[in-house]
Amino acid sequence: MSGQSTYRGLWESYYSEIQAVVFVLDSSDKLRMVLARDELQMLLNHEQVVGRSLPILVFANKMDIAGSLSPVECMGLMELDKIVDKPWHIAASNALSGDGIDDGFQWLAETIQKVESSKSSGGSKSRK
């Protein structure tokens, strides 16, 4: 769903049914990175998300723009390393050219399959 503030209130109506989260960052906008981090944290702390092993795919988008932050820089500013109860991945992307999109969704598909397989076998949660 869109990240525009008018739509953020709608997000939680979908939380009970989701299998994963895809979060798209504007890697060229360092000032809004704190807002993006706070929004992701709010999502992850929601009662319908806590305790679930939902894969988190973060696209560091707009890599084609000069001065864009690298995925590692985005990871640090977003504090993704503090997410220890859910598998996550950050992928450099350019939505205009499609660069990085396939790789990100390939990781997501594989990870959802692992999570679902773990649930059905009663196995423990693992982080990739």
- The C-alpha atoms of residue 28 and residue 10 are separated, in whole angstroms, by 26
- What value does the mean pLDDT take over residues 15-31? 92
pLDDT in tens, 47-99: 999 999 999 999 999 999 999 999 999 999 999 999 999 999 999 999 999 99
Long-range contacts of 41-49 (CB under 8 A, 24+ apart): 41/79, 43/11, 43/15, 44/83, 44/86, 46/12, 46/15, 48/12, 48/15, 48/16, 49/15
- The C-alpha atoms of residue 45 and residue 43 are separated, in whole angstroms, by 5
Domain residue spans of the chain = 5-121
Domain range 5-121, its CATH number among 3.40.50.300, 3.40.640.10, 1.10.10.10, 3.40.50.150: 3.40.50.300
Which tops the pLDDT comparison, 30 or 13? 30
